[in-house]
Amino acid sequence: MTRDPSTSLDLEECIEHLRALIRIPSVNPPGVPDAAAGRDSTGGELRAAQYCADVLAGSGIPAEIIEIEPGRGSCVARLSATVPDPDPPLVLLSHLDVVPVDAESWSRDPFGGDLVDGEVWGRGAVDMKDMVAMELAVMLALSRGRVPLRRDVIFAAVADEEAGGEFGARGLVEQRPALFRDARGRPAAAALNEVGGYSMTIGSRRFYTIQVAEKGIVWTRLSASGAPGHASMPHTDNAAVKLARAVAAIAADQARRSAVVTPLVAEMLGAIGLAEVAELAVSDPAGARLVLEERVSDPVTRRSLDAMLRDTVTPTILRSGKKVNVMPGGGEAELDVRTLPGTDQAALLDHLRSVVGDDAAVEPVVALPAVVWPSDAEIVGHMREALRDADPDGIPLPMMITPGTDAKALAQLGIPCYGFAPLRLEPDFPFLELFHGHDERVPVSALEFGLPVLFEVVRRFVAG
């Protein structure tokens, strides 16, 4: 009698791993005072990577700790295929770093890992230590259940995703590409990553997002210069004023930015009953937003859908001056630029230069392209089937996300990277608000639903 490998899944163990990981303050950037609720976050990513390695080693799975920079640790492990001529691998990808917290704005300790009223609280509960814990649980179940494998399964929990991956996925791809290949040098057939897989309720219908695309990133710096001097004798060559004008011009340009309806977004909007939004987005943007307001109750979901329809340029940081009575000689602003598939990023930067004119220089700091992967791939079919089996009333839905992930790093090796961290959520649970937000938490019931779904997708794709 063959043992059912799913019986090796341990939800309680998964939850305890999540809580333990949350208690490790792996804040990015590390070591910044007051960014980790009074804790020292130096080496936090390394401690989290070591935790994963210890858990895997406890089940006989050797893991490697890699520090591209001291303290910026990633954990990589591999279950090898058990057949003579295996197919290319599957990567279970996640990131260990989290964004800083404003502890005074939290209802609970952001790094306490509290389990209260059926929810696990703490920074990283949804972004994305829940997925780290789920992928750990899947690796353990595959090993304990002795699942025959027709392809390697690679576990990669990495550092530095929140800052572009130089010391995490991007660095590993550039310096250690063999980590994501098989013995014959072939890149992985697919990777499973964060964000997608969660449920969202629109009207009376529940949809499960399958992330097959994400927007590009161009983190951009505006630099203004002026003549320093005593502020009691003002003049017009004021760097702070120039910077303010440049940022105001960028914001006004963003408000006028036209919509672009990509085929994937048009398909998605049609599937959720918002085809009218796609039809109006270009010709009547105000009308499109009115339809969104009428039919989508959650304001964060509305903002997400609207951002899928255009390139976005968002000023986030402004710096100028050091003393109130000194006119500054310079100033900088940072812009979060997100681009749709098909956007010429260089042309967009040239456009921004024309918008700010002589007030500021425009310089890209990090530029990463949008990625789009086939929505009819074998592994996506497994996602659809596993979701339907677990929730016959749910509707799987390919989508594009507006943030960026480590998928961009694996794309350099040609590895399709799908967002699939399955969670069934109550309609009123503020899931999207909790990414980088206060009071981040995840319901245990969502993990109870998602863990066997994730395992089933992996099992169907890798089992011999």
User: For 135, left (φ over 0), alpha (ψ -120 to 50), or beta?
Assistant: alpha
pLDDT tops 80 at residue 174: yes
Separation of CA 218 from chain center: 15
59 burial level (CB within 10 Å; 0-12, 13-18, 19+): middle
Average pLDDT, the chain: 96
| Residue 5 pLDDT class (50, 70, 90 cuts) | low
Q: Which residue has the higher pLDDT, 349 or 3?
A: 349
pLDDT tops 70 at residue 178: yes
What angle do helix axes 11-22 and 129-144 make, rounded to 10 degrees? 140
User: Which tens digits make up the pLDDT trace of 122-138?
Assistant: 999 999 999 999 999 99
- Which one-letter amino acid corresponds to residue 185? G
| Residue 203 pLDDT class (50, 70, 90 cuts) | confident
| Residue 151 pLDDT class (50, 70, 90 cuts) | very high
Record: fold of 215-368: Alpha-Beta Plaits (3.30.70)
Average the pLDDT over 279-299 and give the result. Answer: 92
pLDDT of residue 2: 44
Helices (H), 58-194: 129-144, 169-175
**For the chain, percent of residues with pLDDT exceeding 70:** 98
H or E segment and range at residue 229 = strand 229-230
In angstroms, rounded to a whole number, what is the distance separating the alpha carbons of residues 405 and 407?
5
User: Which tens digits make up the pLDDT trace of 401-411?
Assistant: 999 999 999 99
Residues of the chain with CATH 3.40.630.10: 5-212+371-462
Residues of the chain with CATH 3.30.70.360: 215-368
Average the pLDDT over 162-181 and give the result. Answer: 97
pLDDT of residue 362: 98
| Residue 6 pLDDT class (50, 70, 90 cuts) | low
pLDDT of residue 8: 83
pLDDT of residue 297: 87
What angle do helix axes 129-144 and 44-57 make, rounded to 10 degrees? 20
Q: Please state which CATH class domain 5-212+371-462 belongs to.
A: alpha beta
Name the least confident of 23-32, 292-301, 415-424.
292-301
In angstroms, rounded to a whole number, what is the distance separating the alpha carbons of residues 166 and 176?
13
Q: Which two tokens stand for residue 448?
A: 């109870």
Average the pLDDT over 38-53 and give the result. Answer: 97
pLDDT of residue 1: 34
pLDDT of residue 226: 96
- Ranges of beta strands (E only) in 46-184 are 63-67, 73-79, 87-95, 115-116, 119-121, 151-158
User: Which tens digits make up the pLDDT trace of 256-286?
Assistant: 999 999 999 999 999 999 999 999 999 999 9
Residue 155 Cα distances to 11, 77, 92, 206, 383, angstroms:
19, 5, 5, 30, 19
Q: Are 116 and 108 in contact (CB under 8 A)?
A: yes
Average the pLDDT over 22-39 and give the result. Answer: 96
Residue 341: closest CA among 371, 303, 304, 364: 371
pLDDT of residue 95: 98
| Residue 464 pLDDT class (50, 70, 90 cuts) | low
What pTM was computed for the model?
A: 0.92
